[in-house]
Amino acid sequence: MVVRIRFGKGSKVERKRRKNRRVAMAFASLLTPGAVMAAALGIWRLAEDPHWASDFAIRKGLFSHWQVWFAFAGLLQTGSYLLNRYGRAEDKAIR
């Protein structure tokens, strides 16, 4: 007895330039909440100076300044924007 198994034709293997587009979209979705958290820490540190908020958790060092937190939030959001743009580039080319 001979048993033959036939498989349907699968997707064609192609060489693409943007291989990590899903990974880029996943990291972009994680960077935006990180930017919001960094901005919240910047607001907390800024509000602590006129005693509108409780004492800031970090008292000394680089991260005890509000400017650093806002710059970090801006960098994270910029990275998220660029990764989103990288990940969605093929969607716009198809349309």
> pLDDT tens digits, residue range 60-95?
889 889 899 999 999 999 999 999 998 887 665 555
Please, what is the Cα angle at 73 between 42 and 71, to 5 degrees?
A: 75
Separation CA 64–CA 35 (nearest Å): 17
**pTM higher than 0.75:** no
Write the pLDDT tens digit of every residue in 18-71: 667 888 899 999 999 999 999 999 999 999 888 888 888 888 889 889 899 999
- Say which DSSP state 62 is in: G
Separation CA 90–CA 95 (nearest Å): 9
